[in-house]
Amino acid sequence: MSKLFVMDHPLIAHKISMIRDVNTSVKDFRELVNEVALLMGYEATKDLELTKTKVQTPLAETVGNVIEKQVALVPILRAGLGMVDALMSLIPAAKVGHIGLYRDHETLQPVEYYCKLPTDIEKRQVLVLDPMLATGGSAAAAIDFIKQRGAKKIKLMCIIGAPEGVAVVQKAHPDVDIYVAALDEGLNEHGYIVPGLGDAGDRLFGTM
Ligand code: PRP
Ligand code: URA
């Protein structure tokens, strides 16, 4: 069974409350998603491998550490785009793939419309990015695509998760650890996370 990491940090809790607030502007929402993704990135990258390297300080030569080119970020379009800049600023050498999925509003089933992934994805630690893990259908389908292209090491990072979505992803992909900034109560009859934050894509891009 995969592990579920629920962030436990006052900075994240404070920012999540602002993200939830219906009165938060599009600009502030976007900045807050970026900031929470950055803070979560610290946790989700804890086990990246380090390679030893020589470093010359002004005083002496010493042994330093580098993270080699080993990460691929895969945002689920479109809301996942809101988390990319934060992770890119932490790991500038990361490659970025994109998966386009939207939930059919009637069936709540994910519909694919785009998939472009790094060609060497099988060698990389993949971080799948999507602010919302609701029914889990989109994340489970995205991870299916990524595995079909050969990826072996995958983690899922979401700002808000519902227990239903966590269970679906854990059942479909027991090898994929999940990181959420907050774990909410559940889903309403329309498949929205409650209390949640509403529609993440709309709030990021101002399409309400
Ligand atoms: C949202 C969200 C996830 C998905 C979560 O995207 O960003 O991708 O719903 O729901 P699920 O867990 O029930 O599949 P949406 O379909 O609204 O598309 P958008 O990002 O283009 O707005
Ligand atoms: N997608 C969203 O953007 N929000 C939800 O609450 C559920 C799915």
For 44-57, write each residue's pLDDT tens digit: 999 999 999 999 99
Q: What is the pLDDT of residue 85?
A: 98
- Asked if 199 is an active-site residue, the reply is yes
d(CA 5, CA 139): 16
Q: Is the pLDDT of residue 169 over 90?
A: yes
Task: Quickly tell me which residue has 């970026």 as its tokens.
Answer: 34
- Asked if 20 is an active-site residue, the reply is no
Q: What is the pLDDT of residue 108?
A: 83
Question: Which residue in 51, 53, 62, 107 is the catalytic one?
Answer: 107
What is the band of 68 on the pLDDT scale with cuts at 50, 70, 90? confident
CB 143 within 8 A of CB 156: yes
- Closest-lying ligand 1 atom to the alpha carbon of residue 191: 13
- Closest-lying ligand 2 atom to the alpha carbon of residue 200: 3
CB 160 within 8 A of CB 139: no
CB 161 within 8 A of CB 183: yes
By alpha-carbon position, which residue is closest to atom 2 of ligand 1? 132
132 lines ligand 2 (CB under 6 A): yes
Where residue 124 falls (left for φ over 0; alpha for ψ -120 to 50; beta otherwise) is beta
pTM recorded for the entire structure: 0.96
User: pLDDT (tens digit, 9 = 90+) per residue, 92-121?
Assistant: 999 999 999 988 888 888 899 999 999 999
Ligand 1 center from residue 200 Cα (angstroms): 8
Contacts of 118 (CB under 8 A, 6+ apart): 72, 95, 96, 97, 124
What is the 8-class DSSP label of residue 174?
T
